[in-house]
Every structure is written in C-alpha cells, then in structure tokens.
Amino acid sequence: MGESMPGSAALAGGRDGHRRLAELIPLVLNGLADGTAERGGAGPAGGPAAVAAGVAALTGAAPLAAATGVGAEQALTELSRLLAAGSVDPADPACAAHLHCPPLAVAVAADVVASALNPSMDSWDQAPVASELERELVTLVARLCYPGATAPDAVVTTGGTESNLLGLLLAREPNPAVRPVCGRNAHHSVARAAWLLGLPAPVLVDCDGERMRPSALDETVRGLGSPAVVVATAGTTDTGEIDPLRDLAQVCRRHGARLHVDASYGGLALCSAKLKPLLDGIADADSVALDAHKFGWQPISAGLLAVREAADLAALSVRAEYLNAGDDTEAGLPDLLGRSIRTSRRPDAFRMAVTLRALGLDGMGALVEHCCDTAAEVAGMIDRHPGLRLWGAPTLSTVLFKPVDADDELVARVRRTLLEAGTAIVGRATMSDGVWLKLTLLHPHAKAEDYRPLLESVVATADAVRLPESAAVR
Ligand SMILES: *Cc1c(COP(=O)(O)O)cnc(C)c1O
C-alpha cells in the first residue's frame, strides 16, 4: 500500500470500521446508479466483444493490479460503475432467462454487516451469534418441509447443486451399493453428484410430459435389484413442473427406496398457503433441497438441505482437533463442523434470517404467488398474441413460447439477437418438439403488462431475423 492512500487498507470491522464503510458505500451506490443509467436496458449492448472492450479500456489505462494501487475511492467508483454498466440486471423485467433472482435490498444491506464481521460458520469461536441465528433459521425452514416431524433439521449449502450432492451422500453413507434413480426431467447436478460420489450414473425414469411417471418409477425400482435413492423434482429447470410427489413417495415406501426431492426452484412455495398444495407429499421425502437465491430473493448463495430428523445428518460429522476438540464439545461449545462439507463458510443464513423477519412467511409467500400469478397472465397474453405460440400453462413461474412458424434455428437466433442488443435476456429450453424460448419470472413486483415490451421485441426480432432470408430467396 502506498502511503498516499492509508484509507485503502482500513478495516470494515472494529470500532471505526463503520465510519470507513460510511465513506465507501456511497461510492459503490453512485457507481451502481451511474452504471445502471449508462446501460439503459436489461443487459449490456454489443455482446462479449463490447463487454471485453469496456474492461480492457479501464485496465489498459491502469492495470487491474499494478505495483501501485489507485486507492479505494477510485477502484470502487470505477469498477462499481463498470460492473453495473456491463451486467444483466434481474431487477429489469426484460431479464427473465434463468432462476436468477433480483435480490431484495434488505438482504443485500444485511450482507454488509455480515461481510464486515465475517463470521465463519465452521466453529463456534468464529461465529457465536451467527451460528445461533443459523440454527433458528434452518429449523424454521426444516419445519416448513416437515411440519409433523419432532426434530427436523436443515443445513445451509451453496445451492441446489451442493444440496443434491448431500442428498445422495446421505443415501450412500449407510448403503454404498445404493443406485441413484431420477426422472428424465431432473437437473444435471443429480448425475454430477452421482459421478462425484463414485455412484453409478442415475437410472432415468420416463415422464408424462415433464413429470416423472409413478408407474415407470415403480417398474424401474422393482427391476433394480439393489437399494435405490430416488430424486424427484419440484420445479423443473425447463418448465417449472412438479413431479407427483405423494405418488412417487408411495412407490419409494413400497420398495424401501430413499426419496430426495430437488425443490431448489419450487421449495419456497411452501411459504404460500395457496401454493403449498402443489408440493403435497414433500414431507414424505427423506431430504429436500431448497434455494433461497431463487424464490427467496437472496443474493447468491443461499441453498438449504432439509431432513426429517436432525440425526439424519450424522453422516456429516467430522472431528478436527483445532475446531471441535472432544473436550470443547463436552464443555458445551456447539460443534458446527458437521453442518457442512465445507470448512470456512459464509453466514448466508444471516441475510435469510433478516429477510424472513422483515417480510414474515406470509410476506415471502405473497412474493412467490405474485410471480406465479404473473406467469399465468403472461401466458395468457402470449396465447392471445397472433405472432406467438404458447407451449403450455405454467405450473410455477416458467413460461415457454416461441414466435409462430419459427424453426429451432430462428428461435435460437432471436434469443441471441436480443441478448447481444441488451434488449432482453430470454432463456431457452429444448423440448421433445424442439427449441422454445423460456421466461423464468422471478421479479416479485413486475406486472404482466411490464412483459409486453419483451414479447413485442421477440415478435419484431423474429420478423427482422426472417427478412434477409426471404429476401435472399427472392
Ligand atoms: C437451480 C437448480 C439447481 C441448481 O442449484 P444451484 O443453486 O444453481 O446450485 C438444481 N436443481 C434445480 C431443480 C434447480 O432449479
């Protein structure tokens, strides 16, 4: 650090950290405001080349990490603005491709104090109150999944990928010969988890449309000849559909198979009395994956894995003398190491706790309902639009559609054209009948009408992309 900028190395915590943060945070907020205004739309215009050129323009003038730094003020001002100008912003309704939520301001603000104090969740002596808050938060979430259980529990993960890995790990621990089984609609992380754990690739079960067929699961598990762990999905990635959980749980029970429900997308619908019936049967699962960085509106990452009984997590316990020595645990220091496969771990539960306290469960449920209701309305708008075709009625907040008379190539080109222009960020889903455009609506306030410009851009772009070809034919 140069002496010219002593403040660049100031700490965030301690008695005076808040003063330095009070100087720096406004710079970040100005950068956010200026960069957002500069961008103008949902995403940066010009695609990867323009974004790379924007970064090069800044680092060309002063390398990212030269021998002498530019100081905290300049670094924050320039790079915050660059980040905002070159980001896709999920708080813009036209940014609707993925399960990529616009975080709530309350959650982001909570992250400031969590980051300043930096509790690490691997031992009580690094996270006294953060670990206690985490315990309350995870118990609350576990009770949502298992309302009838005596001691349900949950652990915080980085997201559905890690939760699915843990779900399969808990199935394998008592039973190394366990065979993973999942629907053809399952998330790719299920197969990856099997691979990481040294298990055979999952046996794939046929679906009715996009939902796992219980009779097909029954046949598969019956013919397996070894114990199974079945992964069902509550909110599929392509269409947001929910497997018939109660029927699948019955099949699992009949064959003594374990059931893990990947509710990374749909899980937080449990906060809504109106939507909860969609997840009927989820309490019959042995483990449930949920993501609060989808419905939940947390900054990444905010995953959870819930189990019916706390003892079900015993397989994760591990002893490291420097973190959870036996005599420390006996003397009453909580043992946190067995609550994750990670060691150092961010207090992601803190902002989830702040958010739930601020909104209440009903408030959270209302946001989920808003997204699902809006998706139904947008689907109606698409269905009535002469230039668009709707794939089907949405279950949660995912809407598949395409321009009329569009082949796969046209659909893909429309998506890329809108992305490159920064006009709209739309997803894609490859279904049995070809490629569709996908909207995954996670904006908790946008109204159906706010999506009309996006729909019109799709129609206009499809017409524009079609033109040169028809001109060439002539
Ligand atoms: C998002 C998602 C995942 C992956 O979760 P990450 O949080 O991205 O790790 C897995 N399964 C489903 C159904 C999902 O929606």
pLDDT tens digit sequence for 159-200:
999 999 999 999 999 999 999 999 999 999 999 999 999 999
pLDDT at 1: 42
Percent of the chain clearing pLDDT 70 (strictly above): 97
200 C-alpha vs ligand 1 centroid, how far in Å?
A: 21
pLDDT at 9 over 60: yes
Q: What is the DSSP letter of 14?
A: T
Instruction: Tell me what the mean pLDDT of segment 324-353 comes to.
Output: 97
- 235 vs 20, 294, 298, 424, CA distance in Å? 43, 11, 18, 23
Please work out whether the CB of residue 152 comes within 6 Å of at least one atom of ligand 1: no
192 C-alpha vs ligand 1 centroid, how far in Å?
A: 12
Considering the chain, what is the average pLDDT of its residues?
Answer: 96
Q: How confident is the model at residue 65 (pLDDT cuts 50, 70, 90)?
A: confident
| Least confident among 53-67, 90-104, 237-251, 356-370 | 53-67
Ligand 1, atom nearest to 235 Cα: 13
Q: Phi first, then psi: what are they for 412, rounded to 5°?
A: -65, -40
pTM of structure: 0.96
Alpha carbons 402 and 388: distance in angstroms, whole number: 6
- 436 vs 133, 402, 409, 428, CA distance in Å? 43, 6, 10, 6
pLDDT at 471: 57
Alpha carbons 42 and 39: distance in angstroms, whole number: 8
Provide the strand spans (E) within 219-283.
228-233, 258-263
Please work out whether the CB of residue 189 comes within 6 Å of at least one atom of ligand 1: yes
159 C-alpha vs ligand 1 centroid, how far in Å?
A: 6
> Which residue type does 220 have?
T
Q: Coil, helix or strand for 217?
A: helix
Question: Tokens in use for 83?
Answer: 């980040």
- Tokens 């009625």 belong to 393
Question: Tokens in use for 232?
Answer: 């069902």
Please work out whether the CB of residue 267 comes within 6 Å of at least one atom of ligand 1: no
Q: How confident is the model at residue 81 (pLDDT cuts 50, 70, 90)?
A: very high
Alpha carbons 430 and 438: distance in angstroms, whole number: 10
What is the β-pairing status of strands 207-208 and 388-390? unpaired
pLDDT tens figures, 280-338:
999 999 999 999 999 999 999 999 999 999 999 999 999 999 999 999 999 999 999 99
- 431 vs 41, 236, 303, 458, CA distance in Å? 29, 12, 27, 19
Provide the strand spans (E) within 139-295.
153-157, 179-183, 203-205, 207-208, 211-212, 228-233, 258-263, 287-291
6 C-alpha vs ligand 1 centroid, how far in Å?
A: 43
- Tokens 């309704």 belong to 93
Question: Tokens in use for 311?
Answer: 């003892």
Please work out whether the CB of residue 161 comes within 6 Å of at least one atom of ligand 1: yes
Q: Are 119 and 126 in contact (CB under 8 A)?
A: yes
Ligand 1, atom nearest to 162 Cα: 9
pLDDT at 2: 42
Please work out whether the CB of residue 265 comes within 6 Å of at least one atom of ligand 1: yes
Q: How confident is the model at residue 7 (pLDDT cuts 50, 70, 90)?
A: confident
pLDDT at 465 over 50: yes
306 C-alpha vs ligand 1 centroid, how far in Å?
A: 15
Closest CA to 157 of 27, 287, 47, 26: 287
pLDDT tens figures, 259-277:
999 999 999 999 999 999 9
286 C-alpha vs ligand 1 centroid, how far in Å?
A: 18
pLDDT at 445: 98
pLDDT at 468: 64
pLDDT at 350 over 90: yes
263 C-alpha vs ligand 1 centroid, how far in Å?
A: 8
Please work out whether the CB of residue 159 comes within 6 Å of at least one atom of ligand 1: yes
